[in-house]
Chain A
Amino acid sequence: MAPSPVDQLPLSVPVFHILLSLVDEDRHGYAIIRDIEGRTSGEVRLTASTLYGAVGRLLDARLIEELEPEAGHERRRLYRLTRAGRRLLEAEAARLARATGWAAAKRLLPNPRGARP
């Protein structure tokens, strides 16, 4: 029933960053916003509405899952990347890398390895 990951590419900016935040750590909603803001030095700032809208859709698509609430923090629910989510994220990252490569070939970007063509 879930569509193949490749059909869902490209990912929207919020979805991409939310998935990326969950790669190395399970986080709750507010922590995801802070992590994205920190990682992108403020370039990407999600509002709470955007975050929970996206989280709802990701949960429905089983790309992330919800963990049991921590003791004493019942209102803060932790989210974890599912295997499907991780595969989708890898596919998107690879797609972006290819796209960047093509741009670099047109000398739009400095060559990432520093080699001169």
Chain B
Amino acid sequence: MNALLRWLVRLSLRLAPARHRERFGGELAATVSALAGEARARGRGVERGYLLQELADSLRESVRLWRSGETSGRRLATSLGEAVRDDLRGSVRRWRRRPVATAGVVLTLAAVVTAVTTTFALAHAVLWKALPLPDAERLVFVWETVQDGREPFRVTSGRFASWQRESGAFASLSLFGAAGHSMEGQDGSVPVRGIRVSASFFDTLGLRPIRGRAFGPEDEVPGRHRVLVISQGMWQARFGGRPDIVGHAVRLSGEPYVIVGVMPDVVTPGWPSNPAHVALDRELREFWVPIARTPQFDANVRAHVFGAVGRLNEGVTAARADAELGAVQSAELDAHGGMTTPFREQFVGEARTPLLVLFTASLAVLLVACANLAALQVSLVERRRVELSTRLALGASRLRLVGLLGMDALLPAVAGLGLGLLWSRAALAWIPGQLPGSMPFVTTPALDLTSAIFACLVAAGATLALSAWPVARLRLVSPVPRGAPAGGRTSVYRALVAAQVALGVALAVPAALLAQSLVSLRARDAGFVVDDVMVADVAVPGERASVHQRVSAFEREVSAALAALHGTRGVAFAYDHPLEANWTQAMAVRGDVASPNRGDVDVHLRIVSPSYFDTMSVNVLDGRAFEEREGMEAPGVVVVNEAFASAHGGRVLGRRLESAAAAYTWGPDVPADYEIVGVVENERFRGLEQPAVPAVYISTRQFPLTSAAVMVRGPAEDHDWASGLRGAIRRVQPDATIGRIVPLDVILSEQMSTRRVTADVVSGFALAALGLAALGLYGLMAVSVAAGAREMGVRLALGASPAEVARTVLLASLGHASLGVAVGVVLALAFGRLVQHLLVDVSASDSRTVVIVAVVMLFAAAAAGALPARRAARIDPASALRSDT
């Protein structure tokens, strides 16, 4: 942003009259850079303020200097002003004479300006716009790594404590983790999701509360930690923005808390998950609670549940911080190291490609539209040749004619720009709501200054594109009007049309590939049946260890109550539903020497009720599922998935598994040692795009959950049924916490929505580009038939059949198109590299797709040539020969 402003200031200094520039130019520039340097030292905002002021003053002084210049200067300005006014009037007159063409040109320009500006603003908001946090480039996420350099994963509190003690790379380092609670509301108890953080969290980010205070070191003291900072969103939504919010008491999972502050709605890390992922969803960061720092907490090096965010010291590079994190070792720690990820990169991740694809695709459409309109201008300027010649003969300078032609392009471009800006603003207000919550809008997309300047540059580019050809043709205009000059016209016209075809093909190929990927992804076997399943988060109050009997009873009673509802075909409980499966756990296979890391393997841990596999239609492949009677007293049993089995040599029934964390965090009554009793087919966790990963299932009868996802298979999309579900749970347990009831297929389609939107929008762009290209081909053929009427007349008179003449025209149309298709295929291969990451089960250079697109384009070319060909066949030789053009 500031770089752009600096450039604009430099540019504006050149606008002053030559006398002023010769007098002060060097000094002026030197002073500007000195002042800018000073302002920069005081902050980016200060520098921006200064540059904007300098820009305004420089423009004002230029106007003043030009006005007060010598009389000759004044006369020049006046005559220039009059000339511009004249040209403007003439141009308006010409455009008004052809309202349909004018509307077509303006609307096309408006549409492409909207497309390009909107996709730019979206990409800008995610990828480039400065974050609303001070010195955000010094912020990094910190993750643990195994010394042999596998993927990063979550941090333990013990590791964090040692980093905090011993690493000198950070000005501030903070811990954050998931905090799921229930909160009393008008709707009974509802689940709320927030973040538990170390006290320095907001300081690290540089975030200041809009009400009350942030956390201080005293809030980490056990017993004094029941304080709460809420988000602006929660303040508005749950507390109606009440002014006396600070000091307000609330109950979180039954415990009393006091709200001490409200944080502005700014991007902050949400729930951390493995491998090294941080959610950005608003609903995962409704509030923050401090972590109570006990000695046990600071020594825990087993529970990998946290994320860490740090602010690097001035001048410290990420590489140095990584090296230092690796060097922090101590006797009680294992051989884990650490690594940093840049703050923005952590969020942006996989969103980069779709955004760049959309932006590039919109640029391609812009180019097609410009080529199309430029070709249109050619025919218009040909019609004006006589007028231009006359003007030259009457003494107008060629420069004057350039202005005249430029005005013809500028007018529709400005109208298109205005309309495009309005549409972009509307689009940007609407689109973000249509995208999934996981779309990493680290800043809010809006039609801001940068996007508006970008739109203006696009319009300026369009003006140039539209006027370049007519202006270049001016050298052929002479004061004495003559017949149409030979050559030149058709070759450039043809090149413009071929370029449209090429870009259309280059866009259509990746669009087809993305659409195919979407289809193959939808057809993928999830390993469970997605349709007709409702999911809701439910929780019963109390600590699990003390109430596991009650929890199991709750599960059974709710299952029975729900099963009694009309239409229910199955009820299951699980720690989370498969599309959100979020628990990775180190487990040791006993006697397994092949697995790395001292026998521990990371697996997806799924805690599911015995009815889960039936309800979700997950097939048991070997052995058996859980049984209802296998409770806390029975020996521990687990079911594993196919991926786990094949990672351990296939025959796993009867082998034993140990949980590394059981005794430590799961409670004493949960078994630590399990026998593998069954193998089930792979479920795809967290969406269909993910590969199947090893998973281990434990029964809720042996690992009771106070908070779980309940999944009910029943009639789809039935609202009465959903409220019946809520009522049934409340009848069993009046104080149960019940979250939103959502169909599983809706969650799945939300997960795929970025991909779907990308595929749809690129397809739309491709269709528009192909349509414009076909229109361009039609225009070219129509013009060449009109221009070649005499020649065709001669051929017809000499005995050629109308069919032959028509065939010549059709073949010419196909010829122009084939050139474009050939170039387009090459371009498509280049564009294919950009979409490669988004493709599923299809290669970026899939020859079948390329051939189909090429054939479709050639058909379109034949269709575009058909009408002109018919016209050519019907030329009356006699009248064609008589005409004198």
User: Which residues of A pack against B, CB within 8 Å?
Assistant: 28-30, 33, 47-53, 55-56, 75-77
Contact = CB atoms under 8 A, between A and B. Distances in A.
Given A49-B60, A52-B31, 5 more contacts: A29-B27, A29-B28, A29-B31, A47-B35, A56-B23
A9 to B, nearest CB: 19
B668 interface: no
A50 B31 contact: no
A57 to B, nearest CB: 8
A52 B60 CA distance: 12
A51 B30 contact: no
B26 A75 contact: yes
B35 A48 contact: yes
Interface string B61-76: 1001100000000000
Contacts of B64: 53
B280 interface: no
Contacts of B58: 47, 49
B103 interface: no
B529 interface: no
Interface string B9-43: 00011000000100110111011101100000000
Interface string B707-746: 0000000000000000000000000000000000000000
Interface of B: 12-13, 20, 23-24, 26-28, 30-32, 34-35, 50, 53-54, 57-58, 60-61, 64-65
A55 B23 CA distance: 11
Contacts of A28: 27
A106 B777 CA distance: 81
B688 to A, nearest CB: 58
Interface centre among B24, B34, B54, B60 (most CB of A within 10 A): B24
B17 to A, nearest CB: 10
Nearest to B61: A53
Interface of B is mostly: helix
A74 to B, nearest CB: 9
B542 to A, nearest CB: 62
Contact of A49 (B26, B30, B34, B57): B57
A51 B65 CA distance: 13
Contacts of B23: 56
9 contacts: A30-B34, A47-B32, A48-B32, A49-B13, A49-B28, A49-B54, A49-B60, A50-B57, A52-B61
Contacts of A77: 27
Contacts of A76: 27
A47 B53 contact: yes
Contact of B31 (A51, A53, A56): A51
Contacts of A47: 32, 35, 50, 53-54, 57-58
Nearest to B59: A49
Contacts of B57: 47, 49-50, 53
Contacts of B30: 30, 75
Nearest to B26: A75
A52 B54 CA distance: 12
Interface centre among B20, B31, B57 (most CB of A within 10 A): B31
A52 B35 contact: no
Complex A-B, nearest 7 residue pairs according to Cβ-Cβ distance, in ascending order = A53-B61, A49-B58, A48-B31, A49-B57, A47-B54, A52-B24, A47-B57
Contacts of B53: 47
Contact of A30 (B31, B54, B65): B31
A13 to B, nearest CB: 13
Given A33-B35, A75-B26, A75-B30, A48 B54 contact: yes
A90 B492 CA distance: 70
A65 B503 CA distance: 62
Contacts of B34: 30
Contacts of B65: 53, 56
A49 to B, nearest CB: 4
B38 to A, nearest CB: 9
